Structure 1
Amino acid sequence: MKKIVILGAGTAGTIMANRLRKTYKKQIRQGDMGVTVVDQNDNHIYQPGLLFVPFGMYQPKDIVRSRKHYLPDDVDYVQSEIQRVEASEDKVYLGDGQTLDYDVLIVATGAQLVPEETEGLLGEGWRDKVFDFYTMEGATALSEKMANFKEGKLVVNFVDLPIKCPVAPLEFIFLADSFFRRRGVREKIELTLVTSLDHCFTRPVAAKEFGSVLDDKGIHLVTDFATGSVDGAAGKLTSWDEREIEFDLLISIPLHGGASFVAASPGLGDELNFVKTHKATLQAECKENIFALGDATNVPTSKAGSVAHFQSESLIDNIVRFIDGKPLEESFDGHTNCFIETGFDKAMLIDFNYEVEPLPGTFPLAGIGPMQLLKETRLNHWGKLMFKWIYWNMLLRGRDLPMVSSQMSMKGKRQPVTSDDTAKAA
């Protein structure tokens, strides 16, 4: 019997479990193949929803469901911590003493926060003046703080990339502007986005558009700020070059790393514990029968739910090819698709991949849309809210999204006119 083990029952792992079950339904029923999923608890959190908890738009109960509910009945679920992977033995060692043999291993254990890596971040002021919203505990605690914050300096800072959902810091500060304006206290609150990047986003066309939104909302932007330490008691954020930014409320997006077991697994991960993965085949570098997807990998694309979905379409084909003894295909192109909340019931949408940056245009149909790329619209906002239903009912179930391919399409996209183009035309 062929044994496939999936580590992680979050977005990526659940999608793969459902895709594998559909692909190998007959073999699983006949006992010729077994699929086992491992995770340490039964709480599946809709992570994009954490953004809305601090603003009272969602409650914790709105975004948590049972992991088991979204796994097929004929897929085994093991609830345990993971100790390590021994690739040379084709074994996974679990925290409860069990070992799992595998013919194919899929690592989908996501990313975790490592706030302890930043001096002072967890010190005095943590969950009083210093908060995160990437965890349920942080987002819930911040909700009460935001409701009572009426004046002062609010700073949003992500320490460094990579982070889950790289646009979330932008979304938070846009929503904060809307939240405080609706409460009539915005003129008493100074909003500042502090980033280690040279602009507010990694890709220039999108960075220009997001920068314009920041300017329109009167939000300050501090760039090239390499966070060295946090002093919650004094309300100071200090960079490695000794610049200081004062705050009354700091929203921190801490450093991220891969799952801790990766460090104990010889050859599996990089220095941040992300699985070293071929960016197009999604095969791990350490051994040919190990694959990875989602936030757990070190591939150079966004750590977002859409990426896990697009990767799964490529990976299921390569798993089949590997089991059948055929060469793998370099089919994943880095496709990423994200809504960006901008406040006042509007949002933007970006669609890009490894080679093509986010561009203006229409999505998914050329000239028709109905979504607009890199443009604030109410329809994009409703698309963001609708995504929660799509997530629970389609994406996790491993179903393809209508009119949205795993391969990014250039249809509907257009290159923006630059000042150089204008000069040449003249």
Structure 2
Amino acid sequence: MKKLLILGAGTAGTMVANRLNRMLDMDEWQITLVDQDPVHYYQPGFLFIPFGVYSKKDVIKPKRNFIPPQIKLIQSEIEIIEPEHNRVRLTGGLYLDYDYLIIATGADIHPEETPGLAEHEWNQSIFTFYSFEGSVELWKKLQTWEGGRMVVNVVENPIKCPVAPLEFLMLADWFFHERGIRDRVELVYATPLPGAFTKPMASKMLGELLVQKGIHVEPEFYIERADPDEKKIVSYDEREVPFDLLVTIPLNKGAEVVGKSGLGDELNYSPVNKYTFLSDKFDNIFVLGDASNAPASKAGSVTHYAIDLFGENFIRYTSGQKLVENFDGHANCFLESGFGKGLLIDFNYTQEPLPGRYPLPGVGPFTLLEESEANHWGKLMFRWMYWNILLKGQELPFPPTMTMAGKWKA
């Protein structure tokens, strides 16, 4: 019997476990899934908690609920991966051997790596919404905050959900308008990017939208340190941005076990073939989701599209055939823009976001690079799809690779 070991039962690990459980002959395969945390978090929902749109119960469910009984789920920390011996050692000394390994250990935030960030002002005047606990603490703060200078700062890219900082700013604009204190709030976006976003056309459009909403962008701001007493962040070129309330997107890194096992880069992301997710170092290891260094967005849609293609590729490969380099970096992301509207962007490794209609050419119902109420409802609908369709590894009636149908050059 062939042994498949999956490390991590987050979005990527759970999706691929469910997909392969249906596709593989389970009389010939044994699938084991390892994760230390019994709770599954709907991470896109963290964005909404500070503004009271979602509550705690909307974003957490037991992981066991989404794992089929044929798959063995072990709740444990992972001590070390030993790829030369095709085995993994868990905390407590238990060894698990494998024929094939899928690393899906995700990424996490590390505010402690930026001087001054995670000190005595953490959850006092410095917050994050990139964790469940952080989003809840920020919700508590915003209930009584009476205004001032709110700065949203991205420490360094890549980050999970690259559009989330922009969404937070636009939702904050809406939220403070609703509370009647928008005239007492200054919103600032300090980003290491040269503009609002990575892709030129989307960056221009989103940058104009931020200007319309009275949100100032401080570009190419590479934070060197935070000064929690002076209430300011300082860049490497000594620019200073003062704040009354700092919302940070801390340094994102892959799992420590990936790095200490010799499978990661300087940020513990594992180098892979960006079209197949096969490890650069070992021919029986794949890395899915946020754990890899593939230059695709670290977002749930990317994971879903990748796994749509990965299942058949994995079966082909484990049957002795060559992998097909078929993943194109496809991502589409809804962006909340406040006041019951949203945007949608659709792009891949080579094609930047374009205007148009999605998924039906000329019909939609979603608009690309354009605000609409339909996009807002699409964003909210995604939570139901995540829990009930995507996490269970089921397919959607949309192509996993990007299509130019319904798009036009601006």
Q: Given the alignment, which residue of 120, 127, 139 partners 1:131?
A: 127
CA RMSD of aligned residues (A): 0.8
1:261 equivalenced with 2:253 (yes/no): no
Q: Which runs of 5+ in 1 are unaligned?
A: 417-426
2:386 maps to: 391
Partner SS, residue 85 of structure 2: coil
Letter in 2 for 1:296: A
1:211 equivalenced with 2:237 (yes/no): no
Structure 1 residue 281: Cα displacement:
1.1
Q: List, as ranges, runs of 4+ consecutive aligned residues in structure 1 with deviation greater than 3 Å.
A: none
Q: Given the alignment, which residue of 217, 232, 238 partners 1:242?
A: 238
Partner SS, residue 354 of structure 1: coil
The 2-side partners of 1:147 and 1:208 are apart by 33
Deviation by residue 1:248-288 (Cα, 9 ceiling, x = unmatched)? 0000000011001011112x111110011110011011100
Q: What is the TM-score with the length of structure 2 in the denominator?
A: 0.99
1:57 equivalenced with 2:68 (yes/no): no
Structure 1 residue 124: Cα displacement:
2.4
1:338 equivalenced with 2:325 (yes/no): no
Partner SS, residue 265 of structure 2: coil
1:194 maps to: 190
1:172 maps to: 168
Contact 1:160 1:196 in 2 (8 A): yes
The 1-side partners of 2:302 and 2:279 are apart by 17
1:68 equivalenced with 2:25 (yes/no): no
1:228 maps to: 224
Contact 1:163 1:255 in 2 (8 A): yes
User: For residues 286-301 of structure 1, what are the structure 2 equivalents within 5 Å?
Assistant: 286-301=281-296
The 1-side partners of 2:369 and 2:137 are apart by 32
1:410 equivalenced with 2:404 (yes/no): yes
Contact 1:306 1:338 in 2 (8 A): yes
Of 378-387 and 224-233, the range deviating more from structure 2: 224-233
The 2-side partners of 1:406 and 1:93 are apart by 35
Q: What is the TM-score with the length of structure 1 in the denominator?
A: 0.95
1:421 maps to: none
The 1-side partners of 2:336 and 2:148 are apart by 23
Deviation by residue 1:192-239 (Cα, 9 ceiling, x = unmatched)? 011001001000000111011101101111001110001122210100
Partner SS, residue 351 of structure 2: coil
The 2-side partners of 1:378 and 1:415 are apart by 23
The 1-side partners of 2:341 and 2:105 are apart by 32
Contact 1:124 1:233 in 2 (8 A): no
1:350 maps to: 345
2:6 maps to: 6
Q: Given the alignment, which residue of 302, 307, 324 partners 1:329?
A: 324
Partner SS, residue 125 of structure 1: coil
The 1-side partners of 2:347 and 2:120 are apart by 41
Deviation by residue 1:47-96 (Cα, 9 ceiling, x = unmatched)? 00000000011111111001111011100000001111111100011112
Q: Which runs of 5+ in 2 are unaligned?
A: none
The 1-side partners of 2:136 and 2:195 are apart by 29
